[in-house]
Amino acid sequence: MDDCVILREFATACGRRFGHATLNAPKSLNALSLAMIDRLALQLDAWAADPTIVGVLLDGSGDRAFCAGGDVAALYHAIQAAAPGEAPAEAKAFFEREYRLDYRIHTYPKPIVCWGHGIVMGGGIGLLAGASHRVVTPTTRMAMPEISIGLYPDVGGSWFLRRMPGRTGLFLALSGAPLNAADARFAGLADFIVADDERERLTALIADTRWDAPVNDASPANHARLGALLDRLGATCAVPASPLRKHFDCIEAVIGHDGLADISRRLTALAEDADPWLASAGKTFVRGAPSSAQLSWVLWQRTRHLSLADVFRTEYHASVACTAHGDFAEGVRALLIDKDRKPRWQYASLAETPEGVIEDHFRPRYHGPHPLSDLV
């Protein structure tokens, strides 16, 4: 589907051009399909190689969302068609190409401004997190609630959650707590807060700016110009209060520095907190898949000193394995397919989740080199 991502270019004051890619599946809140991934990846490569292109604007169609995450419903149907206990080929292809795209954005030589309005979840955060200039708006509602569908915060989450203040990253992985624009900036997932109605003005300002020709495919001056332009656009934007910042000390105490069993007890108690934001975080943890909590905890330990490329390689193993184990399919069924919101997890508690099940998530499910072995 060529229209799943709208691709265009526009001229700037110096005659050089900006690429503009728009995720175009508003009915599904721009959920990221494999077709969208492939189309965007191919065009980003072309724009990177084109000396007349000085930067890229990435956004989403509609007013409701930049991107609500990966198309997990399609993965569910692939799992149903596969042999029991086997990861479907479609899942292997999806995660390889999604992570390859995310890594490309993290390492892109030219400025990428990502406009993260409305709902930004899961795979949408994966696109936003690596961009050089990450914009959120007063309508931004961001989360990585994968614990609710038997998954874990992937798309590089093992990298960027580790780089958040204190241990807020682990808290978000276990609780799926929602973030507003101020939270996103505090957590290091956003650089600029700009009013929603300034998107067209941003395009006009980019067009009116004189940009340097890329040198060796990059230009620090262009990155700085784009940053100054976005600072100007956001100067008068009203910024909401940040619950994440407000509750930072509480979050540090809840997560602590001991084991997952102790953290679990404190998160469970949080479900009864008088503060609605904290209570919601605790309830999401309580209702979530124990295997997902365990997997997030193990990834938090294992990826501490890994490079970004090695993080994506590790997450590839874990994500493909999730499609071979039952909780991911069950979580998607309960939330998106049957919509009964009553998942029946394989294991009722952390204590009942066998260590061998979690360890199996790190077993290669391919022959030959790692599918992402070329990431450096």
Q: Which residues are part of the catalytic machinery?
A: 70, 123, 146, 154
Return the H-helix or E-strand segment holding 121: strand 119-121
The separation between CA 83 and the C-alpha centre of its own chain, rounded to angstroms, equals 29
Please say whether the beta carbons of 246 and 275 come within 8 A.
no
Place of tokens 């309508």: 139
The separation between CA 144 and the C-alpha centre of its own chain, rounded to angstroms, equals 7
Q: What are phi and psi of 41, to 5 degrees?
A: -60, -45
DSSP H helical ranges for 178-258: 181-187, 199-207, 220-234, 243-246, 248-255
DSSP category for residue 229: H
- Looking only at the bridges linking them, the beta strands covering 133-136 and 112-116 are parallel
Sign of CA dihedral 182, 188, 194, 200: negative
C-alpha to C-alpha distance for 246 and 274, rounded to whole angstroms? 14
DSSP category for residue 53: E
C-alpha to C-alpha distance for 21 and 43, rounded to whole angstroms? 9
